């Protein structure tokens, strides 16, 4: 006779808000098992009692049949004395104890909900807030754990009898779907003019929104994690107006398309890029644009690539389907400000950008920008990790001894909290350049404290004395008597790379190239070759220093970096090249004196600035409209048929003099010279590795390694040489990944 048994099963991971409890309930019923399932602050607890063979099948099915969005990270099983449960039930969640549940990101509309959205016979036909346990908002609406409706911004919407029936039915896919709603009882949209005059609501508001977009208007539209500024992506005038109003310059806009077939009309995409575009996370994906389409050139000036993405909310689906053509969808904010998320905030801040504002009455708790990725070497490379991915944890290759708060850097900021072997990275926060951006940074930190009932035992910040994140950490440390550790910027990049690649104890040879980072010698580093482990690092090589004439001005003006390089090679006997035409003769004389005396001209080893210098010398760009523009434009010109490169000298430092001398002498066309320059940088990585890092894994980190031709050329060379190379796949190589690296310095 088969023996009876009682087990207590404790699961952690992404197991709340994914239909896990109804799955457990139905599985237990199917196998004639009694007991209960309950959410707690750690995850899910199951007590199960019945015949041993059925319990064994239950444990197998937990892993093999779990809901598609569920991720089980750990499972603890304890055998207990028989209790005599008479039924199986779903119990009310517990809210006491240490909060360790993995909060799910927001998930795009699933196929079943999409089908209902377009079914005239369904009671949710064309309802912009349709969702179920397999899709819909999660992180953006949660106020505290556990993830139950009273702990979300949906608590103010009382479910109608039909919705409540679904919510309480374990056999329904909307069982305990916390944002569950319908047109009778749920949120709805309303359209206003930019000066707050009510226009219409619900279905009529959607129809009028589409008509207004067809007339060339710019609208602010409230989505899942904040407002977008929206206009017709095929109309030059609308996009030019948007650029003027937003002070956007030439920075590219993301474009939303109604479906994958429409994307293929406008872009050349690989099979892997298609899979990423169609993934439930629905990120913006940078792909090659097609020529001679009706997409406005104003979308991405001077670039042969566009950021494409698909609708991820029911409102987006309805809007794109009714409009028919692609739409510019860009974060609704002024440059360097956080994305606007609240209705009142939208009327206050967005009226200057827009003609109309489409709001809804479901509050957004956590503002979240769209994620941005590109495919590099047939793998996802993050440019911005946010909606769809945050705040799922990154697993560390070790356990942290303390609870850690890492506050990231100054640009592309993210923060992270860490405990045990989990690193919870925040959504993209952005550049901490304005009062509102700094306020948002602090709000995100306190939101994470509240969500996870988290009290840090140590703080980690960057070395840079003028970063707001560092200043905040110092003040918080003093006020709360919590130790603060400051860690060098490029070492942090290396640690981030090591952590996500599960490097445990071995050192790596890390090449960390970016625009700028505060060095141990108080100079601006950015072209670094480091041997690193979790205990520390050695700077074994770097690019020779050059001066940034005018300091911060040089970051936005490649011509200033190029002039510094030219002074370093030729002094006053400058060759007649495009850089000189960008200045008046008297300006060059004055800037030479500034350079010679080192006045407001800090020393830099930055590989990112060397890209800028090349862009100026080759007449690609003399001033920048946005960070990284020179490198992005240079990608357009890269030719894989060009195999050679400029000669260079590498030892304890890498000299840039010979590279630029040869480039200036080179009589080839612009495309060939750009290709040779990028090839040169790739060969420098390999040569310095041969000299300083032979036998170690080679790691590539920092914002420069978002340049696709550069990183793919390096990978091509490493394959020939049999070198094991590490790249970023879970967090961005830019400063958005710094907070992960900072967590790791206390291993």
Residues 688 and 548 in one domain: yes
Among 44, 46, 41, 43, which Cα is nearest to 85's?
46
> What is the Cα–Cα distance from 668 to 665, expressed in whole angstroms?
9
> Mapped to the 3 state alphabet, what secondary structure does 107-152 carry?
ECCCHHHHHHHCCCCCCCCCCCCCCECCEECCCCCECCCCCCHHHE
Name the strand (E) or helix (H) holding 479: helix 468-480
Residues 77 and 127 in one domain: no
pLDDT value at residue 100 = 57
Last residue of a domain, one of 487, 521, 554: 487
| Token pair 């992960």 in the structure block, residue | 740
pLDDT value at residue 351 = 92
Among 296, 547, 347, 336, which Cα is nearest to 428's?
336
Which tokens sit at 471? 């200043």
Domain range for 716 is: 513-533+540-726
Most distant CA pair in the chain: distance in Å?
100
Contact 601, 545 (CB under 8 A): no
Residues 171 and 286 in one domain: yes
Residues 361 and 413 in one domain: no
Which tokens sit at 454? 């988290």
Q: What are the residue ranges of helices labelled H in 391-467?
A: 435-451
Phi then psi for residue 136, to 5 deg, are: 105, -175
Can you name the residues that pair with 374 across neighbouring β-strands?
Answer: 286, 381
Give the CATH number for residue 72.
3.30.70.100
- Please check whether residue 741 lies inside any domain of the structure: no
Contact 81, 90 (CB under 8 A): no
Last residue of a domain, one of 470, 487, 504: 487
pLDDT value at residue 182 = 98
Residues 10 and 36 in one domain: yes
Render 549-574 in DSSP notation, one character per residue: TTTHHHHH-HHHHHHHHHHHHHTT--
> What is the Cα–Cα distance from 243 to 249, expressed in whole angstroms?
6
Question: In this structure, how many other beta carbons lie within 10 angstroms of the beta carbon of residue 297?
Answer: 11
Angle at 71 between CA 68 and CA 75, to 5 degrees: 130
Looking from the CA of 386 toward its CB, the CA atoms found within 13 Å total 27
| Token pair 């029911």 in the structure block, residue | 314
Residues 478 and 615 in one domain: no
Q: What is the mean pLDDT of each run of 10 residues along the chain (747 residues)?
A: 84 78 90 91 87 90 84 81 91 66 85 96 98 93 89 97 93 90 98 97 98 98 97 97 91 97 97 91 96 96 97 98 98 87 96 95 97 92 95 92 96 96 95 95 96 94 96 98 97 98 95 96 97 97 98 95 98 95 95 95 98 97 94 96 96 97 97 98 98 96 97 96 94 97 89
Contact 266, 391 (CB under 8 A): no
| Token pair 């993301």 in the structure block, residue | 254
Q: Let me know if 719 is exposed, middle or buried by CB neighbors in 10 A (0-12, 13-18, 19+).
A: exposed
Residues 565 and 616 in one domain: yes
Can you name the residues that pair with 230 across neighbouring β-strands?
Answer: 219, 329
Residues 699 and 605 in one domain: yes
Residues 464 and 526 in one domain: no
Residues 144 and 188 in one domain: yes
Which tokens sit at 259? 């479906």
pLDDT value at residue 146 = 78
Phi then psi for residue 88, to 5 deg, are: -115, 135
Which tokens sit at 25? 């309930």
Q: What total of structural domains would you count in the chain?
A: 4
Last residue of a domain, one of 343, 359, 380: 380
- Please check whether residue 345 lies inside any domain of the structure: yes
Give the CATH number for residue 401.
3.30.420.360
> What is the Cα–Cα distance from 739 to 492, expressed in whole angstroms?
8
- Please check whether residue 564 lies inside any domain of the structure: yes
Residues 686 and 652 in one domain: yes
Which tokens sit at 298? 């104003």
Q: Is 630 left (phi over 0), alpha (psi -120 to 50) or beta?
A: alpha
Residues 129 and 236 in one domain: yes
């Amino acid at each position: 006779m088969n023996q009876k048994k009682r087990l207590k099963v404790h699961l952690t991971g992404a197991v709340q808000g994914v239909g896990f409890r109804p799955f457990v309930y139905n599985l237990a019923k199917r196998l004639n098992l009694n007991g209960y399932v309950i959410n707690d602050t750690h995850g899910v607890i199951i007590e199960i009692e019945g015949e041993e063979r059925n319990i064994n099948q239950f444990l197998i099915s937990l892993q093999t049949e779990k809901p598609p969005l569920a991720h089980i990270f750990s499972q603890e099983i304890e055998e207990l004395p028989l209790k005599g449960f008479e039924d199986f039930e779903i119990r009310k969640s517990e809210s006491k104890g240490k909060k360790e549940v993995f909060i799910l990101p927001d998930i795009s509309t699933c196929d079943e909900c999409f089908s209902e959205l377009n079914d005239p016979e369904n009671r949710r036909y064309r309802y912009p807030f349709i969702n179920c346990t397999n899709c819909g908002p999660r992180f953006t609406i949660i106020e505290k754990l556990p993830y139950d409706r009273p702990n979300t911004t949906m608590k103010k919407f009382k479910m109608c009898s039909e919705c409540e029936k679904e919510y309480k039915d374990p056999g329904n896919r909307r069982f305990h779907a916390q944002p569950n709603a319908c047109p009778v009882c749920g949120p709805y949209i309303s359209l206003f003019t930019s000066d707050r005059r009510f226009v219409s609501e619900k279905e009529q508001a959607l129809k009028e929104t589409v008509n207004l977009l067809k007339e060339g208007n710019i609208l602010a539209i409230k989505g899942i994690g904040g407002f977008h500024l929206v206009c017709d992506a095929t109309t030059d005038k609308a996009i030019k107006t948007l650029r003027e109003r937003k002070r956007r310059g030439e920075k590219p806009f993301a474009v939303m398309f109604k479906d994958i077939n429409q994307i293929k009309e406008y872009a050349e995409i690989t099979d892997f890029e298609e899979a990423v575009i169609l993934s439930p996370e629905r990120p913006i994906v940078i792909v090659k644009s097609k020529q001679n389409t009706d997409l406005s050139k104003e979308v991405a000036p001077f670039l042969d690539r566009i950021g494409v993405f698909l609708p991820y909310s029911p409102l987006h689906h309805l809007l794109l389907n009714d409009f028919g053509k692609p739409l510019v969808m860009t974060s609704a904010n002024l440059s360097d400000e956080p994305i606007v998320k609240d209705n009142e905030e939208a009327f206050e801040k967005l009226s200057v950008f827009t003609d109309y504002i489409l709001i809804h009455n479901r509050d957004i708790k956590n503002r979240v920008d769209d994620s941005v990725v590109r495919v590099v070497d047939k793998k996802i490379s993050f440019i911005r990790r946010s909606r769809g991915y945050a705040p799922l944890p990154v697993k560390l290759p070790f356990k942290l001894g303390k609870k850690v708060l890492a506050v990231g850097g100054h640009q592309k900021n993210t923060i992270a909290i860490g405990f045990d072997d989990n690193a919870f990275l925040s959504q993209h926060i952005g550049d901490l350049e304005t009062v509102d951006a700094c306020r948002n940074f602090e709000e995100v930190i306190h939101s994470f404290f509240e969500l996870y009932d988290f009290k840090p035992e140590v703080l980690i910040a960057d070395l840079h004395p003028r970063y707001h994140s560092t200043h905040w950490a110092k003040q918080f440390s003093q006020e709360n008597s919590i130790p603060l550790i400051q860690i060098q910027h490029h070492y942090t990049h290396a640690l981030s790379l090591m952590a996500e690649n599960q490097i445990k104890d071995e050192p790596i040879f890390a090449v960390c190239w970016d625009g700028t980072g505060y060095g141990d010698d108080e100079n601006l580093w950015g072209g670094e070759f480091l041997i690193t482990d979790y205990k520390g690092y050695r700077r074994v090589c770097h690019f020779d220093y050059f001066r940034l004439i005018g300091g911060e001005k040089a970051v936005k003006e490649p011509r200033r970096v190029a002039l510094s390089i030219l002074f370093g090679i030729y002094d006053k006997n400058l060759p007649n090249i495009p850089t000189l035409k960008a200045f008046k003769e008297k300006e060059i004389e004055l800037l030479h004196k500034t350079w010679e005396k080192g006045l407001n001209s800090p020393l830099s080893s930055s590989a990112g600035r060397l890209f800028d210098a090349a862009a100026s010398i080759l007449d690609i760009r003399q001033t920048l409209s946005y960070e990284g523009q020179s490198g992005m434009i240079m990608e357009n010109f890269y030719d894989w048929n060009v195999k050679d490169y400029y000669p260079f000298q590498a030892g304890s430092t890498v000299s840039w003099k010979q590279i630029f001398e040869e480039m200036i002498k080179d009589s080839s066309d612009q495309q060939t010279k750009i290709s040779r320059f990028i090839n040169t940088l790739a060969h420098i990585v390999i040569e310095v590795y041969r000299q300083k890092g032979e036998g170690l894994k080679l790691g590539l980190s920092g914002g420069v390694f978002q340049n696709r031709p550069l990183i793919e050329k390096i990978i091509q060379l490493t394959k020939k040489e049999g070198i094991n190379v590490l790249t970023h796949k879970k967090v961005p190589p830019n400063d958005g990944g710094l907070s992960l690296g900072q967590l790791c310095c206390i291993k």
